Amino acid sequence: MKLDDFSNIDINNAGSLPAPVKAVLLTGVFLVLVALGYYFLWSPALESLDTEKNKEQELRKVFLDKKSQAINLEAYRAQMVEIEKTFGALLKQLPDRSQMDGLLTDINQAGLSRGLEFELFKPGQESQADFYAEMPISIKLLGTYHDLGAFATDISKLSRIVTLGDISVANQNKDVKPSSTDAVLVMEAAAKTYRYLDADEVAAKRKAAKDKASKKGK
């Protein structure tokens, strides 16, 4: 087989071509058909196959996650019941709006029962969170070290949540040693107490948040 055999090919008389030339031509046609078939048929099919394989892996992962959740469903339910009980117990420690005056009276009474003298007891402005409101109270007390410590202990034992922070203690009479039982100390602190929001307040907060989001969207 020579190059001249390919330069003088007569397609109309292809049957009389030498066998080697026929073989080369058929091989070339076959390769062209394979290339066209791969480009137009097999390549999209392979891409689709890869996509479906990825989907299969995702679905398999979702299935295994759901299966794990189904197996642990009872444990999740028991956990949710326990969480609800804990949350309910904590919520009971928060007074509602009508009980706040009584709680403030309890804090004041805790100091008076220890013989402390209030120089300042000033509730501040409430700040609201998702389901509760926080009220700061500025307090200034006069008393002995022992009585002030007992007051802090009494506050921690109240049925409602009250915290004491930013505490500073100073000696009122500089001529008396702080270690003396007669030393009168001045304690300043920022107390905080909490209450849960009632249904109307929660609804108002949600409406305000919705209106704000609506205005922002415009």
Q: How many CB atoms lie within 10 A of CB 103?
A: 20
Residue 41: is its pLDDT beyond 70?
Answer: no
- The 8-class DSSP code of residue 61 comes to H
Average confidence (pLDDT) over 5-18: 56
pLDDT digits (tens, 9 = 90+) for 89-102: 666 667 777 778 88
Ramachandran category for residue 166: left, alpha or beta (phi over 0 → left; psi -120 to 50 → alpha): left
Strand pairing category for 185-196 and 132-143: antiparallel
Give Cα 107 distance to the centre of its chain: 34
The pair of three-digit structure tokens given for residue 18, joined into one six-digit string? 């030498």
pLDDT digits (tens, 9 = 90+) for 129-148: 777 788 899 999 999 888 99
pLDDT digits (tens, 9 = 90+) for 178-205: 555 567 889 999 998 888 777 777 777 7
Torsion of CA 93, 99, 100, 106, to 10 degrees: -80
Rounded-to-integer distance, Cα 123 and Cα 21, Å: 105
Rounded-to-integer distance, Cα 5 and Cα 190, Å: 106
pLDDT of residue 139: 92
Q: Which residue, among 158, 155, 157, 144, has the nearest Cα to 191 in the 3D structure?
A: 155
What are the C-alpha distances in Å from 204 to residues 88, 127, 129, 214, 218?
23, 14, 13, 15, 21
In CATH, 97-201 is 3.30.70.60: yes
